[in-house]
Each structure stands twice: as structure tokens, then as C-alpha cells.
């Protein structure tokens, strides 16, 4: 799984699954650009940890939902590292409400970050990957895209769109040396799930054969696997990491 000499961009890399992914990639000697939206201190802490692992790393502020900022992020990373081999579209948000109560703003905000975000970043980067005839794109989707979930119509649609995007883009660039895959986590212990009421998490555990939540590292290891040169014949796939909750 050696990623020596490769450079990765992880969006939303300052905490949770993104942070664990940055560290997992660095363990295999991959240099990392850590994108963050607001929390500079957290991003700098990740950069420090990455440097301790012996890789080159830098934090880059950008709101992925803003096309101009996404373009500027890719340009800044290209200037700093000269290449981007691995893209992990990880940044995501939730704005949960039952559909009867969901506002147009809650609908749009989630789509803008979770679906337009990957569009903005990927479209700014893809020509460079195609030109170099090598690339790994890994989109973080969700079990919610596969099963639906009460209060998450906006999120399920965005993550379902991301699966459709993954499969379509995989077909379009398959002969250009670029693979495109998705990872679909179940319920993982991060800030995103910290607000979920305990009684809901109890139900989640009851519905999960492994009877527990996942850890960010358990998702990150699958992302790292897909990023590696060895994963060369895997494209258009959705890898489920959910303790068996959805099979
Ligand atoms: P998290 O809230 O800890 O991390 C999300 C990250 O995205 C944060 O660092 C946040 O700052 C960043 N972000 C949000 N909006 C952004 C924007 N506009 N531009 C740039 N960065 C932005 O949550 P997490 O659980 O680590 O989530 C990571 C990804 O995994 C998300 O896409 C999420 O939807 C997905 N996911 C999480 C779970 C789970 O149970 N935690 C399950 C399935 C999928």
C-alpha cells in the first residue's frame, strides 16, 4: 500500500473521518493537503501530526461549496506540491428535519456542500489527473443513501447523487488511468453523530450485527486501500463500512 511520492487532498480534513484519512494516508508516506472550512487550529494540529509521521503537509482554507474557492484550493495545492494524485471528497454536513418541516434552505445547503462540493473540487482537479494518466478519487457517501433515514431527505439525496456521480465518472475516466470509488460509512463516532440522541444510537446498534458504532480509522483504512496503486482494477464501486447494518 505504499503511497510514497504521492500527494493527496482531503476535504474537510481537520476532524472526524477526514482527519483519520489524512493520518492513514501519511502512514503510507503520502503527502497531504488538509482542507478545512473554519477551524484553522484543528487543521494545523492535523498538519503537525502528519509532519510527525514524516510526510509533507499543509492546511488550506476553502469552502468547497463555493466554486471560486474550490478552484483556488486546487491552484494553491498545485503550486505548493506540483501534483495531486489522490482526492478524497470527504467534507459534508447535515441539516436534519423531517421532510414535512424541511425548509428550502436546509435542502439547498446540504446539496451545496455534499454534492456541489465534490463537483467543484473534482472538476477543478480532473483535467490534471487525466493529463498525467493517473488518479484516485474517493467520495465519502453514506449508508443513508442506500437505506434512507428519517429526517435526512436532503442528506440522502446528496449522498445518493454522489454514488451516481461516482459510477458515471468512473466510466468516463476508466481509460485515462483514473479510478473513482465511493466509501459508504454506517454510523461512525464523530462530531457529526455526537448530536444524535442516545436512544437513536441504541436503535442503530440494535440494527447493526456488530452492535456498535464504527470508528473513523475503520473508514480511513478503506479509503487508503482505494487510494493505493495496488487498487488498480477497482473502479465505480461503493465499499460499505457499516458493521453489517446494510448488506
Ligand atoms: P465531521 O462533521 O466531523 O466532519 C465533516 C468535515 O467537513 C468537518 O471538518 C467540516 O469542517 C468539513 N466541512 C463542512 N462543510 C465544509 C465546507 N463547506 N467546505 C469545506 N469543509 C467543510 O463529520 P464526519 O463524520 O467526519 O464526516 C465526514 C464525511 O463522512 C461526511 O461527508 C459525512 O457525510 C460522511 N459520513 C459520516 C458518517 C458518520 O456517521 N459520522 C456516516 C456516513 C457518512
Mean confidence (pLDDT) of the chain: 97
Q: SS3 for 121-187, per residue?
A: HHHHHHHHHHHHCCEEEEEECCHHHHHCCCCCHHHHHHHHHHHHHHHHHHHHHHHHCEEEEEEEECC
The answer to whether 214 and 242 are in contact (CB under 8 A) is yes
Q: Residues 98-101: contacts with CB within 8 Å, 24+ apart?
A: 98/150, 98/151, 99/153
Task: List Cα–Cα distances, 72 to 6, 32, 34, 113, in angstroms.
Answer: 21, 17, 14, 16
Ligand 1 atom 10, closest CA:
12
Measured distance CA(119)–CA(105) in Å, rounded: 20
Mutating to test ligand 1, I would choose from 192, 201, 217, 220 the residue with most ligand atoms within 8 A of its C-beta, which is 192
pLDDT tens sequence across 189-217:
999 999 889 999 999 999 999 999 999 99
Question: Which residues does residue 203 pair with via DSSP β-bridges, in sequence order?
Answer: none
How do residues 19-37 score in pLDDT, each as one tens digit? 999 999 999 999 999 999 9
Which residue CA neighbors atom 12 of ligand 1 most closely? 12
Query: Is the Cβ atom of 105 under 6 angstroms away from ligand 1?
Result: no
Which residue has cell 503550486? 79
190: Cβ below 6 Å to ligand 1?
A: yes
Superfamily of domain 7-188+216-240: NAD(P)-binding Rossmann-like Domain (3.40.50.720)
16 lines ligand 1 (CB under 6 A): yes
CB 185 within 8 A of CB 159: no
What separation in Å is there between the alpha carbon of 194 and the centre of ligand 1?
12
Mean pLDDT, rounded, for 162-168: 99
Distance CA 125, CA 140 (A): 17
Give 109-122 pLDDT, tens digit per residue. Answer: 999 999 999 999 99
Beta bridge partners of 180: 137
Task: Give me the pLDDT at residue 29, please.
Answer: 97
- The residue whose CA has the least distance to atom 29 of ligand 1 is 90
pLDDT at 195: 87
Ligand 1 atom 44: the closest Cα is on which residue?
142
| Category of 54 on φ-ψ map: left (φ > 0), alpha (ψ -120 to 50) or beta | left
pLDDT at 187 over 80: yes
Q: For 30, which DSSP code?
A: -
Q: Which of 163, 170, 184, 177 is nearest to 232 (CA)?
A: 177
* The three three-digit cell numbers of residue 187, written as one number: 454510523
Give the model confidence (pLDDT) of 53-91 as tens digits. 999 999 999 999 999 999 999 999 999 999 999 999 999
| 18 ligand 1 Cβ < 6 A | yes
Catalytic residue list: 155
Domain boundaries, given as residue ranges, for the chain: 7-188+216-240
Amino acid at each position: 500500500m505504499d503511497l510514497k511520492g504521492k500527494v493527496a487532498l482531503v476535504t474537510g480534513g481537520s476532524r472526524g473521518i477526514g482527519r483519520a484519512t489524512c493520518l492513514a494516508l501519511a502512514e503510507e508516506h503520502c503527502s497531504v493537503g488538509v482542507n478545512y472550512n473554519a477551524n484553522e487550529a484543528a487543521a494545523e494540529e492535523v498538519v503537525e501530526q502528519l509532519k510527525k509521521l514524516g510526510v509533507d503537509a499543509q492546511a488550506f482554507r476553502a469552502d468547497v461549496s463555493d466554486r471560486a474557492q474550490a478552484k483556488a484550493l486546487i491552484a494553491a495545492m498545485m503550486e505548493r506540491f506540483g501534483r495531486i494524485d489522490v482526492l478524497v471528497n470527504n467534507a459534508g454536513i447535515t441539516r436534519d428535519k423531517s421532510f414535512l418541516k424541511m425548509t428550502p434552505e436546509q435542502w439547498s445547503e446540504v446539496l451545496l456542500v455534499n454534492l456541489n462540493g465534490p463537483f467543484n473540487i473534482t472538476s477543478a482537479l480532473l483535467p490534471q489527473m487525466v493529463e498525467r494518466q493517473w488518479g484516485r478519487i474517493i467520495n465519502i457517501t453514506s449508508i443513508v443513501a442506500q437505506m434512507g433515514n428519517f429526517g435526512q431527505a436532503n442528506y440522502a439525496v446528496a449522498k445518493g447523487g454522489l454514488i451516481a456521480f461516482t459510477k458515471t465518472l468512473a466510466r468516463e475516466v476508466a481509460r485515462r488511468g483514473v479510478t473513482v470509488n465511493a466509501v459508504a460509512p454506517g454510523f461512525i463516532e464523530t462530531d457529526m453523530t455526537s448530536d444524535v440522541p442516545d436512544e437513536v444510537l441504541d436503535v442503530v446498534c440494535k440494527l447493526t450485527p456488530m452492535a456498535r458504532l464504527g470508528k473513523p480509522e475503520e473508514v480511513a483504512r478503506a479509503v487508503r486501500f482505494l487510494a493505493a496503486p495496488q487498487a488498480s482494477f477497482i473502479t465505480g464501486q461503493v465499499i460499505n463500512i457499516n458493521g453489517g447494518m446494510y448488506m
